[in-house]
Structure 1
Amino acid sequence: MAVEKVMKRDGRIVPFDEERIRWAIQRAMLEVGIHDEDLLNKVVRRVVRRINQLYDGQIPNIENIQDIVELELMRAGLFDVAKAYILYRKKKAEIREEKKKILNKDKLDEIDKRFSLNALRVLASRYFMRNEKGEIVESPKELFERVSVLAVIPDILYDERVFDKNGGHEQDPKAIEKYLSKLDEYDGKLSIGRFKLNKYHFERLLNLYRELAEKGQMKVSIDEIVTMLENGAFEGYEDEVEEYFRLMTGQVFMPNTPALINSGRPLGMLSACFVVPIEDDMESIMKAAHDVAMIQKMGGGTGLNFSKLRPEGDFVGSTAGAASGPVSFMHLIDAVSDVIKQGGVRRGANMGILEVWHPDIEKFIHAKERNTGTNVLSNFNISVGIWEDFWEALKEGKRYPLVNPRTGEKVKEVDPKSLFEELAYMAWAKADPGVVFFDVINRRNVLQSAKNEPIRATNPCGEEPLYDYESCNLTSINLAKFVKYDDEGKPYFDWDEYAYVIQKVAKYLDNAIDVNRFPLPEIDRNTKLTRRIGVGMMGLADALFKLGIPYNSKEGFEFMRKATEYLTFYAYRQSVETAKKRGPFPLYEKTKYKDGELPVEGFYHREIWNLPWDELAEDIKRHGVRNAMVTTCPPTGSVSMIADTSSGIEPIFALVYKKSVTVGEFYYVDPVFETELKKRGLYSDEILKKISDNYGSVQGLEEIPEEVQKVFVTAMDIHWLDHLLAQANIQLWLTDSASKTINMPNDATVEDVKAAYLLAYKLGCKGVTVYRDGSLSVQVYSVEGEKKQRVKAKPSKYAVEKLKAVVEAEPWLARFINVNAILNGTNGKKGTDQPAGLTFSLSPAPAPKPAHESVKEKPDIPEDKIKELLGVAYCPVCYEKDGELVELRMESGCATCPRCGWSKCVIS
């Protein structure tokens, strides 16, 4: 009799699965370079036969089966394979023990096993609930259950048995008070099928009931709702909870960090992004400081446009004194952020914007220049807001007026070329400021007619342009999970499953708006006027690796476009379906949606459509849409680590790098790349060291086949032109924006930065963040050993064609974009990195980072110097926890720690 069941280590009885045996043996064979499908099948048959002989009619446990695998491998003479299998088995046992330590538990469940050690460490560092002693009291299973339960609570109150979108029903909203006064009694008392509601879930349900009752949309009383829950009337929604739980624990999508931390917990705030207005009076300025404090203490980040503040030295009527200017008030907000330590170590995150016409723009551009070691706005990303008139002045060579926002009068005129060079230089030298293109942001802004003004601010990482007091909830879908393999082992992308998940995630985000505890009433009100959501994606690099498509190729950019087109199309599809049942967002009738317009550039280029956008636009006109904006691409630092995938839409930083842990050092290898090496019989410690010493890149290594070098590219293997094209192709189909870093090598020039800014603008990006390798670093390295020079990145053929086409279409660009110099690597290099003709005063640029330097051990740095570094070039979490100075990488527009996932951006 064949064995049909097997006992897991935790005592569960599950179906016997021959494929798991096949996978384990195949892995061991690949480990020693054996690629023999017939031999694999033969060994698997012998193992299964032996199991059936020994356990006829019984239930073996996992250890029994593994023992048989070892024995049969040796009987087949495959001693090297048996050794690899034994070592892998031992390694798995060690990993299980390490996971138990991290999770503070004696037994692992199936969900624990799905997440890597790295993912569990990240979850343990910030996401799990802890007791008063600081001990973890929550497992991954419990975390994702509380997130999933909260996500389905709105479905109960929008059930047609209790909800009427047309209103007209009278229920007493205050009836919820008796339940709010005894929440503890309801902790775990109510449930949706097998899932229990804790008191925080119930409290959010009560508050949503009150809101809908006040609109007259509740058919029944709150007492009836509670009775229905007690009687299991809503058990049908158990499947919805299960589905969100399955998708998250399967690492298919992840909500933004605040949602993972706060769902079903006291703070209850699920959003990451907010914009706070700031007017030109002291009451507004202090209100903004208060609002920033309230948002950041709950884990959010803020964007502020300081352009309405009068310039430094301007007249102040109430005191007959002189104004201190926008930059001084940025320091005020920075100080507020500094004392609101999120989770003890997470700094507050802000985006500070000043528009290019403001008289203090030059001071703003230099606001983060480090001269004295004093406060340099370490809690701020800063960006210059540029409008079309600046580009026109630059094009025409006319002087550009700077205008006092208090009086509307011109203060002076400046040379736009000089200002542009100054901006580019500081981005080259200090990685700040970035630029935001407000005319591009507002070109397809369907909300402008409803809001009576353009958008003038973004969240801290720039991917969410927002109106005053708007917020946004974000998620990221893991593209790598949709790469499947056909019967011949060839990879393909499952577009149908991807479309299904997009719609589930869009619904999740709309529900999140209803159960969100917003930090301020103004944010609650303005968020619900537009119901903006941000469905995003991560795992792009890993998906392309699996598909065998180079990131920096025409095929790669076409995949990016199609993936983003699907993202927005199916997010809208779900939003229309939700609008049919629950009603469109309140400002819908005042927007351009009703005229058939969409805030998506790709919609206006029919020749690139893969989907029926005209049908979608008609459906939106006919039924409305629930969410004013639906897609974005946020940074995913720790979120992508939890999902065990590559970060956001970025290429990976390194295929192999050395990691130091308490028990020693080991090489971290990108999992998809590791599989490829083993499949080709190339995996060894020697090759890992070689790749690690080659900056984590395989470029130029003779041991690595050319086709592997072509596909497995890292961020610095990709020319900055191709980085720009990736952002532009993705931006084409987003309703909002994308968080992306345009990586440049250390020897890039100011001329390269200027060219990147102009090309980003002309290619339709809504903003851009350029990062020159090493420009964040402070020279505190010790030499480990001489390393070879990095292979120079070259632009793809597709990028070269695009570059030439842009400059040929507008010849004036040739004054700033030297096509030939960019292509041959001499752009702006005339014996110095600083271009000729700069007329302003600058502090010295950071010295180029020598190619042979790497961190060896914690340098002996004075404590005050350490404080200066934290949150700027080094990870504050790793330093405070382990005393390690781990250098941050610029990823998705934000400084991010490669070791623990800490990011200056609160989203990720």
Structure 2
Amino acid sequence: MFILFYSQVYYQYSSLNNTKPQIDMEITKPTEKTKTYTLDEAFEASLKYFKGDELAARVWVNKYALKDSYGTLFEQTPDDMHRRIASEIARIEKNYSNPLTEDEIFDLVKDFKYIIPQGSPMTGIGNPFQIASLSNCFVIGSDGPSDSYGGIMKIDQEQVQLMKRRGGVGHDLSHIRPKSSPVKNSALTSTGLVPFMERYSNSTREVAQDGRRGALMLSVAIKHPDAESFIDAKMTQGKVTGANVSVRIDDAFMRAVESNTPYTQQYPIESNNPSHQNQTDAGRIWKKIVHNAWKSAEPGILFWDTIIRESLPDCYADLGYKTVSTNPCGEIPLCPYDSCRLLAINLFSYVDNPFTEKASFNWDLFKKHVHYAQKIMDDIIDLELEKIDAILKKIENDPEDIIIKGVEHNLWLEIRKKAKEGRRTGIGITAEGDMLAALGLRYGSDEGVEFSVNIHKTLAIEAYRGSVLTAKDRGAFAIYNTEREKNNPFVLRLKEADPELYYQMTEYGRRNIALLTIAPTGTTSLMSQTSSGIEPVFLPVYKRRRKVNPNDKNVRVDFVDEVGDSWEEYVVFHHRFKEWMEINGHDITRNYTQAELDKFIEISPYYKATSNDVDYLKKVKMQGAIQKWVDHSISVTINMPNDVSEDLVGELYMEAWKAGCKGVTVYRDGSRAGVLISNEEKKEEETIGGLSIFPTIRPTVLDADIVRFQNNKDKWIAFIGLIDDRPYEIFTGLTDDEDGIIIPRWLNKGLIIKNYNEDGTSRYDFQYENKRGYKTTIEGLSYKFNPEYWNYAKLISSTLRHGMPIEKVVDLISSLQLDESINTWKNGVARALKRYVPDGTEATKQKCQNCNSTNLHYQEGCLTCKDCGSSKCG
């Protein structure tokens, strides 16, 4: 049954009538010609479209299929979406000379093969059911001191207004005066940055965007006197959870770190006559940045002088284009109230005869499509201006008082001005890892890096040529000035690489103020079934389990767990690795052993080319070399194993600066789990008996210890989630080598990850990495053990999470009056937890079984009598 009446603002579906969308404030219903689909119909059709890829099908149906506010679906497969997009872009093309036809555009975007509008453009183009922007990201704020409460609240409201229209937002806090600065109100002194970080973070968490949270980037200059507090802000558990944070680091700071000399901080940060100034130890702050990034993957680093020096829009800084912050993923540095739309080119599709000796890159087709991509991006700006006009009209028609809606109205006027005047675009790529593999080049090798740099150099030259040729037909962006740009390093590289292009640009101008970026391509890569963005392949093949009904026909049962559930193990191939196997005559229908899979990987072009294989320093140098041909920035994460040292993280950051990177983020495996560092002012009030209070909201990922023990003939296993090496939760139950949870005997550590089932209920999975570097996940610890054990485990975990000392928890467990059948479980849990009791802790309510003394203490998990020396473990 479908809802036929709509009370919200409704656009006539423009792809049906091929006219400019018109706002209709009346209650409207779809015509009888408007085809609708059930969720199941769309999923089944999309599953066939994606050749059985359930994840890709669900992502498309849930995130990108055209639907109204009631969930009614108007598209059955991505072909419908791509036709909608092609129709709207063709409508804009008709306004200019030499227009692309709808069919030409459809051939470019269909099947996610060549050109892929990302995120907001994919969702919003031709969408009559949302009054939303087509921009993926925005930056707001001020490029100078402005820290009144009115200004701070204005930014807060602007941030929320953008997020409700589906945009990610970034803004900088360097304009806020430092902590304890005198102010002329009842507070007498200012609070500094951190409270406002929390305000903006909380606002982000409150905004829903089609089922997803808002995205926020907060930045601050290292030159700001409160920069150190900013760096530490997220290290307190539960603080600033709604924002990414990055530090704007200048060259002077990096040189001070290198030379071990002091660094001057001041406020205002760019003033020749600052009101605050102090010298600080650059090396100490650097070590803190490195430690926090090692511990929690934040803050990210923005090499700000490199960003400004290379920025073409900053040639027009005095005209309002001074870069102040970045979008949430850091790949688009922006001036206040500018925005950007993203589009990715699928590099894999330009490899002819992939995975064969005849493999080659089709440079001519690539160059041709880059021109088309730049033209399409410019069309999307016109579509965005239409969307902004619709947003403005809606605001004007809203019943609120003009004082209430004034901030939102003025915000969109500012954004419209920047979009129309600068016409910024964001062309990027995806499938770099797969492209290299298809050509027989190993990601991270000297040959692979050289080829990648050539790809991005060609992309830059042809995108700029496309923008120049579009300017010849449609006119340059409004404030283009050759003289302003003549000394820009990026322009000088273009001039050296292609003098004719530079000459044409001086004659015709350029249609767009800046053009290129490399953004994350998470869902894009899922639907194009390729590696993500500039990144290498994560894993070419891995195994998963799914629960099966053993009574079904043609079902294979590989494993029966201890509660009797049947499971099938199956191999999941990365799509292009699967293509390599097929092309090279390997059977993909067999259920291979791990040893057989390892041999396939060794002879494949993906060998030693995954995210865990690529040398970290080489990857940073590769990023720096490619950055020279990307006028915005690159979103890339250096993934590192859990045991990597802080010194190596610092070395990577330093190398990134020297290599010319504009920013860098390091993620150490598991580093977002177990972060609990209180600042010195709050240590006393945030401890019980000298121990830190645990967060009552469980982190998504926890480090975990595995403890095995045996009571009588029963074998037990305990998974103990840890924060700061202290037990936070416990899962335990019977196991054996044949039917229980199968993990290697040598394994004693892993991760416990909180996930969600399709029905919305939560579960706790255990993940570990084998000796070959492959990750294995065991789903559902919470239902693999006896339900009675699980209920008691929840009780024990609750006491642990609220900071009860371990020895008291052990006493509590020992005192439980349970049925005889569960006593061995009780004893095992107590035994598992005893090892975490600090040495020297006195035991209460217990006596020595040898001499009856109560003078007992814990030593290496064992109760030891101080009087007679006897020891009992267990």
The answer as to whether partners of 1:596 and 1:620 remain within 8 angstroms in 2 is no
1:213 aligned partner: none
Amino acid at match of 1:626: R
2:625 aligned partner: 729
The alpha carbon displacement at 1:627 in A equals 0.6
CA distance, structure 1, for counterparts of residue 757 and residue 635 of structure 2: 24
2:604 aligned partner: 708
| Residue 608 of structure 2 corresponds to residue 742 of structure 1 | no
Pick from 355, 361, 383: which aligns with 1:493? 361
1:121 aligned partner: 58
The alpha carbon displacement at 1:565 in A equals 1.0
CA distance, structure 2, for counterparts of residue 705 and residue 513 of structure 1: 44
CA distance, structure 1, for counterparts of residue 477 and residue 757 of structure 2: 43
2:324 aligned partner: 456
The answer as to whether partners of 1:597 and 1:617 remain within 8 angstroms in 2 is no
2:149 aligned partner: 282
CA distance, structure 1, for counterparts of residue 635 and residue 441 of structure 2: 22
Pick from 111, 118, 125: which aligns with 1:263? 125
Distance 1:115 1:445, change over 3 A: farther
- C-alpha root-mean-square deviation of aligned residues, in Å? 3.7
Which ranges of structure 2 fall in alignment gaps of 5 or more residues? 1-36, 392-411, 549-567, 676-691, 708-716, 723-727, 730-750, 769-776, 779-874
CA distance, structure 2, for counterparts of residue 717 and residue 635 of structure 1: 20
2:261 aligned partner: 398
Pick from 431, 453, 457: which aligns with 1:561? 453
2:293 aligned partner: 427
CA distance, structure 2, for counterparts of residue 716 and residue 486 of structure 1: 24
2:136 aligned partner: 272
The answer as to whether partners of 1:719 and 1:744 remain within 8 angstroms in 2 is no
CA distance, structure 1, for counterparts of residue 103 and residue 718 of structure 2: 46
CA distance, structure 1, for counterparts of residue 377 and residue 719 of structure 2: 43
Number of residue pairs matched? Answer: 623
725-734 vs 332-341, which moves further: 725-734
Distance 1:321 1:110, change over 3 A: closer
Distance 1:133 1:290, change over 3 A: closer
The answer as to whether partners of 2:480 and 2:509 remain within 8 angstroms in 1 is yes
CA distance, structure 2, for counterparts of residue 305 and residue 493 of structure 1: 42
Pick from 136, 140, 147: which aligns with 2:85? 147
Over the matched positions of the two proteins, sequence identity in percent amounts to 29
CA distance, structure 1, for counterparts of residue 489 and residue 90 of structure 2: 29
CA distance, structure 2, for counterparts of residue 857 and residue 640 of structure 1: 38
Secondary structure of 1:315's counterpart equals coil
Secondary structure of 1:599's counterpart equals helix
| Residue 339 of structure 2 corresponds to residue 471 of structure 1 | yes
Amino acid at match of 2:136: A
1:839 aligned partner: none
1:630 aligned partner: 515
CA distance, structure 2, for counterparts of residue 493 and residue 673 of structure 1: 18
The answer as to whether partners of 1:426 and 1:433 remain within 8 angstroms in 2 is yes
The alpha carbon displacement at 1:667 in A equals 2.5
Amino acid at match of 2:67: R
CA distance, structure 1, for counterparts of residue 693 and residue 251 of structure 2: 30
The answer as to whether partners of 1:575 and 1:626 remain within 8 angstroms in 2 is yes
Give the TM-score taking structure 1 as reference length.
0.63
108-117 vs 151-160, which moves further: 108-117
| Bigger strand fraction | 2
CA distance, structure 1, for counterparts of residue 97 and residue 758 of structure 2: 50
CA distance, structure 2, for counterparts of residue 511 and residue 258 of structure 1: 15
The answer as to whether partners of 2:706 and 2:718 remain within 8 angstroms in 1 is no
Distance 1:598 1:440, change over 3 A: closer
- Tell me the alpha carbon deviations over residues 748-801 of structure 1, each in whole angstroms, 9 at most, x when there is no partner: 11111111111001100001111111112359xxxxxxxxxxxxxxxxxxxxxx
2:713 aligned partner: none
Secondary structure of 2:233's counterpart equals coil
CA distance, structure 1, for counterparts of residue 182 and residue 427 of structure 2: 46
Distance 1:685 1:764, change over 3 A: same
CA distance, structure 2, for counterparts of residue 109 and residue 365 of structure 1: 45
The answer as to whether partners of 1:673 and 1:712 remain within 8 angstroms in 2 is no
| Residue 216 of structure 2 corresponds to residue 350 of structure 1 | yes
The alpha carbon displacement at 1:410 in A equals 3.8
2:26 aligned partner: none
Amino acid at match of 2:639: N
Amino acid at match of 1:337: T
2:832 aligned partner: none
The answer as to whether partners of 2:183 and 2:189 remain within 8 angstroms in 1 is yes
Secondary structure of 2:450's counterpart equals helix
CA distance, structure 1, for counterparts of residue 592 and residue 157 of structure 2: 54
1:673 aligned partner: 577
CA distance, structure 1, for counterparts of residue 455 and residue 705 of structure 2: 37
Secondary structure of 1:503's counterpart equals helix
CA distance, structure 1, for counterparts of residue 416 and residue 444 of structure 2: 42
The alpha carbon displacement at 1:666 in A equals 3.1
Secondary structure of 1:395's counterpart equals helix
CA distance, structure 2, for counterparts of residue 857 and residue 126 of structure 1: 39
| Residue 536 of structure 2 corresponds to residue 599 of structure 1 | no
| Bigger helix fraction | 1
| Residue 366 of structure 2 corresponds to residue 502 of structure 1 | no
The answer as to whether partners of 1:438 and 1:455 remain within 8 angstroms in 2 is no
CA distance, structure 2, for counterparts of residue 704 and residue 851 of structure 1: 33
CA distance, structure 2, for counterparts of residue 637 and residue 887 of structure 1: 24
| Residue 762 of structure 2 corresponds to residue 883 of structure 1 | yes
The answer as to whether partners of 1:446 and 1:591 remain within 8 angstroms in 2 is no
The alpha carbon displacement at 1:253 in A equals 2.1
The answer as to whether partners of 1:667 and 1:688 remain within 8 angstroms in 2 is no
CA distance, structure 1, for counterparts of residue 121 and residue 718 of structure 2: 36
Secondary structure of 2:234's counterpart equals coil
The alpha carbon displacement at 1:635 in A equals 0.3
Distance 1:473 1:114, change over 3 A: farther
Which ranges of structure 1 fall in alignment gaps of 5 or more residues? 1-99, 161-236, 692-697, 780-841, 867-871, 890-897, 900-908
1:532 aligned partner: 424
Secondary structure of 2:311's counterpart equals coil
| Residue 534 of structure 2 corresponds to residue 649 of structure 1 | yes
The residue correspondences of 1:165-180 to structure 2 (distance < 5 A) are none
1:483 aligned partner: 351
The alpha carbon displacement at 1:507 in A equals 0.8
- Tell me the alpha carbon deviations over residues 485-520 of structure 1, each in whole angstroms, 9 at most, x when there is no partner: 299861111111111111111111111111112461
CA distance, structure 2, for counterparts of residue 353 and residue 409 of structure 1: 21
The alpha carbon displacement at 1:744 in A equals 1.6
- Tell me the alpha carbon deviations over residues 504-553 of structure 1, each in whole angstroms, 9 at most, x when there is no partner: 11111111111112461111111222111011000111111111110010
The alpha carbon displacement at 1:267 in A equals 2.1
| Residue 656 of structure 2 corresponds to residue 760 of structure 1 | yes
The residue correspondences of 1:817-832 to structure 2 (distance < 5 A) are none
The alpha carbon displacement at 1:644 in A equals 1.3
- Tell me the alpha carbon deviations over residues 240-279 of structure 1, each in whole angstroms, 9 at most, x when there is no partner: 2222222222312211211111111232411111001153
2:503 aligned partner: 618
The alpha carbon displacement at 1:583 in A equals 0.9
Secondary structure of 1:322's counterpart equals coil
1:770 aligned partner: 666
Distance 1:333 1:886, change over 3 A: farther
CA distance, structure 1, for counterparts of residue 43 and residue 224 of structure 2: 61
CA distance, structure 1, for counterparts of residue 494 and residue 757 of structure 2: 45
Amino acid at match of 2:628: L
CA distance, structure 1, for counterparts of residue 666 and residue 720 of structure 2: 29
Give the TM-score taking structure 2 as reference length.
0.65
Secondary structure of 1:476's counterpart equals strand
CA distance, structure 1, for counterparts of residue 763 and residue 352 of structure 2: 40
CA distance, structure 1, for counterparts of residue 43 and residue 647 of structure 2: 59
The answer as to whether partners of 2:221 and 2:249 remain within 8 angstroms in 1 is yes
CA distance, structure 2, for counterparts of residue 726 and residue 709 of structure 1: 19
The alpha carbon displacement at 1:328 in A equals 1.1
Distance 1:882 1:136, change over 3 A: farther
The answer as to whether partners of 1:557 and 1:725 remain within 8 angstroms in 2 is no
1:582 aligned partner: 474
